[in-house]
Structures are given as C-alpha cells and as structure tokens.
Amino acid sequence: MATIKDIAKKAGVSITTVSRALNGYSDVNEDTRKKIVETAKLLNYSPNTIARSLVMKKSKTIGLLVSGFIRENAKDNFTIEVMTGVNDYASQTAYDIVLFTTNSSKQREKTYTQLCKERKVDGVIIQGIRTDDPYLEEVIEGEIPCVLVDIPKIGRHAGFVSTDNYAGAWEVGDYLAGLGHTSIGMINGHEFAFVSQERLKGFKDSLSKKQIELPEDRIISGDFTEESGRNAALKLIESNPSVTAIFCASDLMAIGAMTALKSKGFRIPEDISIVGYDNILLSRYVQPGLTTISQDTYGLGYEAAKLLIDMLDHEGEPRKTIVKHELMERDSSAKL
C-alpha cells in the first residue's frame, strides 16, 4: 500500500508538502497540489483517516444537522437542494459530510455538544432550528464552529447564510399593490420560524408604505405544509370574503391554498391572486403556474459549506452571507 513517502519520492517534493497538499492547506502552490493529487491517484493512495485524525486532532468531517426532517419536506425539495450545495462545495475539499437529524424531543435527551462529539465532526451546518428549540442557545454560545441556514444569528463560533427574507416579502407587497390589490391576506408560517418573522414584517411594512392595512384577522398561521395552506385559505376567505390576493410564506402552503380555493369555485387569478415563496420545483408545474419569490436554496448550502470550511481551515471569522432572491411572475397573479 502506497504511503505519503512514496508520493513524495515520485512527485519530487517533501513529505511535509505532500501532507499539507492532501489536507487542503492553502500555502501549497496550486500546480504542486495538482501534481501531488495526480501522483496519489496513480499510486492508488488511500489515506488512513483514523491515524490522520489522531495526529491532526481533526476528523476532516463536517455535519449537516437537520431539525424536523419529515416526509412532507420531500415535496418542497428544500433540504435536498441545501444538501446538494453543501456536498458540491465540500467535494472540492478534503472534508467528508455526515447527515444527522434531530427534533425538539431528541434535543431534550442529548445536548448539541454530545451529538457532535459522538459523530466526531469538526463543524456543523444547521438547518431547521426553531426559535424555541433547546439547542439554539447552546449552538450560538458553543465552541463548535457552525453555520446556520436561514437563522440570522451570529456567535463567537457561529455564522449564518440566508436570503433577505424581509426584502423578498417587501417585494411581494409592492408587487401586489402595483397590481391594484388593497384587500390582501397572508398565510404565514408558524411563529417559531425565523423566516416567518422576517417575511411577515417585510410584507406588512411594504403594504404600510402604500397605505394598505393588513389587519390581524387577515393573517393566518400555517406550518409550511400543503394541508395547513388549504385550511388557512378556507379560514381566511370565510372571515374575509373581500380579499382579492393572498401572500403565502411558502410555496407548499400556496399550492394548498390554490387547491382549497378552486374547490370552492374561485378562479385563480381572475377572482383571487396567490403568491408564494421559495420557487420549489412544483411551483412551475401547478395550474396556474405559481408567482413566487425564488431563493437560491442550492446557494444556501454551497455558501454554508464554504463559510464553515473557511472557519475550520483558516480560522475565518463567523460572518453572514446573503444569497440572491428574485420575484418570479407566473399566472397565479393578475391585475385587479
């Protein structure tokens, strides 16, 4: 079995240079790194990861911790897109990825630190943590480097990536007002989601700027699922039959709302306009196509991995990264 000594001899470099190149250090010339990697492949070199981790006191593994990962999540593909982004960036480095899941119940049985030590991860990308999750404070105040997805919190070892949820929701309010709608409702996500807070505030502030009221009885909370969107839409339209447009804080809730309203004889968008948020794959295939705010979910994962690995390899400071969003106008919205 080939060793780093064999690689060094064949490549004509020192053992130290081989070690630093294969472990992703930035002080190795790129041409030299490529030569070393090619030589390692030629010799069928397989590193002893256990021995390496003992020497470096690093596992070269990052965790993707997903809270509340349930079957319903498969419909919006959000978590899969984030995973893909994480994997694509990490695959360019010396890091492996391990996925582990949790929920509020599990969090009461085992601490975040215990979970990370059991998995032997150097750092973690965290998605789906709620404002009331037991882990949140431990994550922000802890010593384990981490990057939070869509959770706008920064700690000594914690950074975050997100879209500008406030700005995205503001654009929806401005867009609907521009179409002439003044009797508008909102189906928001649950109160323990950071994105719910930001999207509600952005939407309300935008409408307020246009002198359009959004009273409390026209704001119904769902839980980001299709079923909750159906129930919320029926409740909203029953108590506020004059509503001509509804903004839903997720595409799944918007799709549920459209299904419910069509079952009651409403035409979309002739009778009522619907706007979602996320631009999931289903949003372009439902009838009518869903107007929505597109967020770069792949980019969330890619930038999260980039930020975390920078923190791990180069002692980069925890910081925030904001990825792009865009209003996608389709056929579920129209001028009043």
Q: What is the CATH number of the domain that holds 36?
A: 1.10.260.40
3-class SS of residue 184: strand
- Indicate which CATH number applies to the domain containing 139: 3.40.50.2300
3-class SS of residue 265: coil
Query: Are the C-beta atoms of 111 and 51 separated by less than 8 Å?
Result: no
pLDDT, residue 85, reads 96
Residue 232 included in any domain: yes
Residue 328 included in any domain: no
Residue 334 included in any domain: no
pLDDT, residue 73, reads 65
Copy the structure tokens of residue 199.
Answer: 């999207």
Cα–Cα distance measured from residue 230 to residue 47, given in angstroms and rounded to the nearest whole number? 53
Residue 228 included in any domain: yes
Query: Are the C-beta atoms of 165 and 199 separated by less than 8 Å?
Result: yes
Residue 332 included in any domain: no
Cα–Cα distance measured from residue 170 to residue 259, given in angstroms and rounded to the nearest whole number? 25
Query: Are the C-beta atoms of 246 and 268 separated by less than 8 Å?
Result: no
pLDDT, residue 275, reads 98
Residue 56 included in any domain: no
Residue 53 included in any domain: no
pLDDT, residue 56, reads 46
Domain count, the chain: 3
Which of 217, 233, 242, 241 lies closest to 276 in space, CA to CA? 233
List all residues 6 or more positions away from 159 whose beta carbon is below 8 Å from its beta carbon.
146, 147, 148, 307, 308, 311, 317, 318, 319, 320, 321
Is the domain of 70 the same as that of 215? no
Query: Are the C-beta atoms of 226 and 194 separated by less than 8 Å?
Result: no
Is the domain of 185 the same as that of 291? yes
Q: Which helix (H) or strand (E) holds 5?
A: helix 4-11
The three-state (H, E, C) secondary structure of 86-144, written as one string = HHHHHCCCCCEEEEEEECHHHHHHCCHHHHHHHHCCCEEEEECCCCCCCHHHHHHHCCC
Is the domain of 18 the same as that of 131? no
Is the domain of 38 the same as that of 184? no
Is the domain of 276 the same as that of 179? yes
Is the domain of 114 the same as that of 232? no
Is the domain of 157 the same as that of 303? yes
Is the domain of 306 the same as that of 277? no
Is the domain of 112 the same as that of 181? no
Is the domain of 113 the same as that of 179? no
Cα–Cα distance measured from residue 90 to residue 301, given in angstroms and rounded to the nearest whole number? 10
pLDDT, residue 77, reads 84
Which runs of consecutive H residues, i.e. helices, occur in 179-296? 194-209, 226-239, 251-263
User: What does pTM read for this prediction?
Assistant: 0.81
pLDDT along the chain (336 residues), means of 10: 84 87 76 87 70 55 83 76 93 89 71 83 91 85 92 92 97 98 97 94 98 96 95 97 97 97 97 97 95 96 95 85 96 96
Residue 140 included in any domain: yes
pLDDT, residue 55, reads 46
Is the domain of 152 the same as that of 190? no
pLDDT, residue 182, reads 97
Which residue segment(s) compose the domain that 92 sits in?
61-163+297-323
pLDDT, residue 293, reads 98
